[in-house]
Amino acid sequence: MSDPAPPTQPGPGSAASPLSSGVALVDVNNFYVSSERAFDPSLEGRPLVVLSNNDGCVITRSAEAKALGIPMGAPWFQIAEQAKAWGLQVRSSNYELYGDMSARVMEVLGRYTTDLEIYSIDEAFLTLDGTHGEQHVTGRIIKASVRRNTGLPVCVGIAPTKTLAKLANRWAKGNPNFDGVCHWDLVPEDQRQSLLHRLKVTDIWGVGTRNGARLNAIGIDTAWDLAAADPVLIRKRFSVVLMRTVLELQGTPCITSIESTGNEQVFFSRSFANPVNSRDAMQQALSVYAQGAASRLARKNLQGRVLTAFAGTSPFSTGTKSSPSICIPLPAHTANPLDLTRAAHKLLPLIEEGVPYIRAGVIITDLQPVGTQDALLTLDLDSGANTGQTPGKDAGPLLHEIGQKFGRSSIGLGHAGLKAGSEWTMKRDMLSPHYTTKWTDLPVVKAQ
């Protein structure tokens, strides 16, 4: 997203800097790779990839790895032989490290605003007040502060709306003239228009491939075309959600906190390193996954009404094939890990002993924000009776907080609190140390 001419941005107090409230999107650059490099400087400048669950495929690549032509999603077994010749560094996904580094970044960001919305593990929206120039200066301070306090590089995009802040952040990443911080309103209008003309409509946050094809069919091919569209017409032909995107491109803030997340479900699933052959092992796995889903709900301040639990054997297995699933309507919207765990265990009678299951998971749907309904009544899912109370209702946020600080495996309820065995736990043969969440892995500095 580079430009033919370097964009210029007026400084604080310029005539083009009216007093206003802006939205800043702060995004960690190449988060997994940067987290690994923060504690292992020897990885700087070297090609590095991070692998998915069970060391399956490439999910993050450093710029040097991209230059080698390694595609996203490349199966590790296909590139393992060439790795040494390439000088390629490889790491298993260190979720404990990434979760803790995320929490540290968000803590730093919270120092610069009273309105912080965590959008994902590596990005957040902040509300910034002041003139455009003052907001731009704050963006630079935030960038330097995150780097100094966490060791992670970030880019900052600032604009009147979240959709434009997304574009500004992306522009800041792609154009070195911004030095990592772009304020949309401080870029000359002709350059903004040039960018919108060059961007495909599917490059706009929230549009998606399906809507993109439908928009192309009516002559809307670029971001500029969408920004110039009639919002009322877009609502009639598409949806109120896409209409809001148009309004945001035109500079009118209208995407609220919950709408901006795009949450329709919370999904927690893992493939097993080795097949699970017993109900007891599956019960532990489902407990861990249900409580992982509860933690994600707590992080997003959401509750769900429907839980779906599933498991499956390999589609390539020559033996017995089994793909059981069950959908459990909960008595009310909840993020209570006890309720979710009990519901997930309803799958167990469908699990066949001795059959090698290679995956399992839970999906929470029918989501809504916490606090938008009356007091909950908790159903005893084992007996079907309404207990009239909510045991463990505060456990979800507590589990999430402890897991963020000490790692996911540090605490669990019931079977999820048992030490997981090697039967089904995830394969991570190239795992880096848990630098910030395990005493035994703390970095040691020796003075000479």
Active site residues: 123
Between CA 90 and CA 56 the distance in angstroms is: 12
Q: Are 94 and 102 in contact (CB under 8 A)?
A: no
CA 206 to chain centre: 15
Closest C-alpha to 392, from 324, 339, 431: 339
Identity of residue 171: W
Q: Check if the beta carbon of residue 245 is closer than 8 Å to that of residue 30.
A: no
Q: How long, in residues, is the chain?
A: 448
CB 229 within 8 A of CB 245: no
Residue type, 55: D
Instruction: Judge contact between 50 and 191, C-beta under 8 A.
Output: no
Closest CA to 52 of 81, 71, 73, 28: 73
Bridge partners of residue 379, in order along the sequence: 386
